[in-house]
Amino acid sequence: MKRITLLGSTGSIGTQTLEVLRSNPDKFQLGAMSFGTNVDLGAKQANEFKPSVICTGDQTAADQLRGKLHYQAEILFGLDGLTEVAVSEADMLVNAVMGRVGLEPTLKAIESGIDVAIANKETLVTAGHLVTEAAEKQGVSLLPVDSEHSAIYQCLHGNVDKEVSQLILTASGGSFRDYKRSDLENVTVDQALNHPNWSMGAKITIDSASMMNKGLEVIEAKWLFNMSYDKISVIQHRESIVHSMVEYVDGSVLAHMGTPDMKVPIQYALSHPERLALQGGQRLKLWEVGKLHFEEMDYERFRLLKLAFDAGRAGGTAPTVLNAANEAAVDLFLNRKISFLDIETIVERALNDHQTSQNPPLEEIIEVDRSVRSAVLADLT
């Protein structure tokens, strides 16, 4: 039985990870978990799976949780608690938190020799060089959970890198894929949160609408698969049936297809290299889909995607700035303090104002992240 630590249990990926565990009680056991401040759902999950260690986002949530548990568990809170949970005795850490907060716990888990199933793309975007170097040093596996990266991982299986011509990430286009730039001036938060294909958390849904989510995935792919940006491309695919593709030097293209359901890549990351039977999920029926559509990506229309490529190529602290500015801007948009198009303006300004430093240590990355977020907020006052 594989013992799992889950960071971010109450989020979209977290709840679906628990569905996989619930469907395979003979394969997986939840040893530790974390969540933010959704105490009611967190307590319900804990009482069902009974992890021995739980971390909450703050002390108030921890105090509330103590009164709702029906069994004895160690309860921690905050970033220190999150890091402690990450190094709990486990065979695999599932990093499903949102944002840069997942970086330090992931590094600590890797240092402890724990394999990582990573859904928190910001960890690799912010400090991909540190994470991949640590994983290689410790002999730890980094297994992708994002559907696009899981697709590439499976299409690459058994093939050497030198045979690969390019990795092709697919993008649905998000909530505003049929909008012209002039149509985006006055779009609302509710409109942005209305994704046509996927059910996801608020932040990632906004990122999908702006195409920043795909930009973060491009940078993540570079680190996961040790691939240059010249060998990574993005195409728009409305149906989200082809999750991604790999083109080889002989012109062959391997595509991974499936329904828009995150439980399949989550389950594969947990069970790898074994494949488990799909429990209750919807299977792909191509004759019902009928047609698949693919379009060339418009980098002028989706400026944040271009900025992500630019930041990735610049390397060093540039992706850290990209991610920090975007997280701060998205939070402001969700709180209705800026417009949708202000997000890309804020990100671009942050990148232009930054002097990139190469091969930054963790302390510098944390400081750059902090200073960028502070600068974004300061610009509003």
Q: Is 36 annotated as a binding residue?
A: yes
The reported pLDDT for the residue numbered 180 is: 85
| Residue 27 near residue 2 (C-beta atoms within 8 A) | yes
**What is the percent of the chain where pLDDT is above 70?**
98
The reported pLDDT for the residue numbered 379 is: 80
Same domain, 89 and 184: no
Burial of 169 (0-12, 13-18, 19+ CB in 10 A): buried
The reported pLDDT for the residue numbered 204 is: 82
pLDDT tens digit sequence for 235-259: 999 999 999 999 999 999 999 999 8
Q: Is 214 annotated as a binding residue?
A: yes
Higher local confidence (pLDDT), 145 or 121: 145
Q: Is 367 annotated as a binding residue?
A: no
What CATH number should be reported for the domain holding residue 365?
1.10.1740.10
Examine the fold and report which residue of 144, 159, 189 is the final residue of a domain before the chain moves on: 144
pLDDT tens digit sequence for 263-275: 999 999 999 999 9
Q: Could you tell me the residue range of the domain that residue 342 belongs to? A: 315-381
Answer whether residue 269 is part of any domain: no
pLDDT tens digit sequence for 299-326: 988 999 999 999 999 999 999 999 999 9
Answer whether residue 356 is part of any domain: yes
Examine the fold and report which residue of 113, 144, 175 is the final residue of a domain before the chain moves on: 144
Rounded Cα distance, 194 and 199, in Å: 9
Examine the fold and report which residue of 123, 144, 165 is the final residue of a domain before the chain moves on: 144
**What six digits make up the tokens of 12?**
């979209």
Answer whether residue 127 is part of any domain: yes
Average pLDDT, the chain: 92
Same domain, 298 and 158: yes
SS3 345: helix
Q: Is 148 annotated as a binding residue?
A: yes
Is residue 199 pLDDT above 70, yes or no? Answer: no
What CATH number should be reported for the domain holding residue 100?
3.40.50.720
Same domain, 205 and 322: no
Q: Which residue from 347, 375, 336, 79 is spatially nearest to 193, judged by alpha carbons?
A: 336
Answer whether residue 310 is part of any domain: no
Q: Is 91 annotated as a binding residue?
A: no
Total structural domains within the chain: 3
Higher local confidence (pLDDT), 229 or 197: 229
Q: Is 201 annotated as a binding residue?
A: yes
Same domain, 364 and 222: no
Rounded Cα distance, 263 and 20, in Å: 7
pLDDT-derived band of residue 230, with 50, 70 and 90 as boundaries? very high
Answer whether residue 79 is part of any domain: yes
Sign of CA dihedral 201, 203, 204, 206: positive
Q: Is 13 annotated as a binding residue?
A: yes
Same domain, 232 and 162: yes
The reported pLDDT for the residue numbered 345 is: 95
Q: Is 208 annotated as a binding residue?
A: yes
Q: Is 99 annotated as a binding residue?
A: no
Same domain, 378 and 321: yes
Q: Is 150 annotated as a binding residue?
A: no
Same domain, 286 and 373: no
pLDDT-derived band of residue 380, with 50, 70 and 90 as boundaries? confident
Is residue 363 pLDDT above 80, yes or no? Answer: yes
β-pair type (53-56, 74-77): parallel
Q: Is 272 annotated as a binding residue?
A: no
Mean pLDDT over 38-60 rounds to 97
Same domain, 251 and 334: no
